[in-house]
Structure 1
């Protein structure tokens, strides 16, 4: 497949509907995302919280003026490793018809470069256990499956 040159930039509220559509189109996510206009206030509220946070950033990948991917980063500082800062990448999503074109790799590469520039100790992410293709993708980028994650849904 042809590699595309996507532009990675911080998301704006104008990108919100396109980002929501990416998540709503994900059959494996299971997060209840929807393009129903009645849900838009909840998404706007979450976007406002992310935008106001000094440690969180929501990004989009744009190609020919269209949002074709998204991801979010969070900086967390822990006392382990002598008080190190780590970058967490979450909610990585590439539009289904754009997969295999290098957009995901560009998004992850962008996040990793920002982490290096700001002196992060490590970059980590989680991936749904059912996403075997995504696991191979992350391993090709140099990530190792070093930990097992646990979740408990509260609502």
Structure 2
């Protein structure tokens, strides 16, 4: 890592960079559509996320270039005495910047944001086809404490 990255909320101008990173791995290539122009579904989703005070879509920059992205969602619960959970999704580092410590820096920043917003925990899901990611999350202190299930429509 050359310099400390900077973090800011994403703008619509960042959308192409974000979708490009989401599509740039084996699993993402199967579910994303990085095209020019971008499909309207991404634009509608961005608008909804940007308007929602419980969402933070954050880009990571180095020297003015977007090199990473992640999304935090703050979920209000009645459990845990009305606690707030933070969910992290869509964490990506641009090719060429991977393996240089940016992933760890992103998570350190995201953990700080979750704490600042009053969350009592930060949770994530990861595809079981990504054993390296699971090892990475465990090294950061995440614990495989629950069995997750999904229903795709």
TM-score, length-scaled by structure 2: 0.92
- Tell whether the 8 Å contact from 2:58 to 2:70 is kept in structure 1 after alignment: yes
Match of 2:95 in 1: 96
- Tell whether the 8 Å contact from 2:16 to 2:38 is kept in structure 1 after alignment: no
Cα deviation code 1:75-124 (max 9, x no counterpart): 00111111111111011111132111111111111111112222211111
- Tell whether the 8 Å contact from 1:4 to 1:101 is kept in structure 2 after alignment: no
Distance 2:132 2:3 in 1: 19
Q: How many residues end up aligned between the 2 structures?
A: 153
DSSP 3-state at the match of 1:28: helix
From the superposition, tell whether residues 131 and 3 of structure 1 become closer, same or farther in structure 2 (CA, over 3 Å). farther
Distance 1:74 1:124 in 2: 10
Distance 1:117 1:5 in 2: 20
Q: Which runs of 5+ in 2 are unaligned?
A: none
Measured after TM superposition, the shift of residue 64 of structure 1 is 2.1
Match of 1:47 in 2: 46
Distance 1:109 1:43 in 2: 27
From the superposition, tell whether residues 79 and 112 of structure 1 become closer, same or farther in structure 2 (CA, over 3 Å). same
Q: Tell which deviates more after alignment, 22-31 or 69-78.
A: 22-31
- Tell whether the 8 Å contact from 1:73 to 1:89 is kept in structure 2 after alignment: yes
1:151 maps onto 2:147 in alignment: no
Distance 2:48 2:66 in 1: 21
1:33 maps onto 2:32 in alignment: yes
Distance 1:129 1:70 in 2: 21
1:130 maps onto 2:129 in alignment: yes
Measured after TM superposition, the shift of residue 31 of structure 1 is 5.2
TM-score, length-scaled by structure 1: 0.91
Match of 1:82 in 2: 81
DSSP 3-state at the match of 1:76: strand
Measured after TM superposition, the shift of residue 4 of structure 1 is 4.7
Q: Which runs of 5+ in 1 are unaligned?
A: none
Q: Tell which deviates more after alignment, 33-42 or 78-87.
A: 33-42
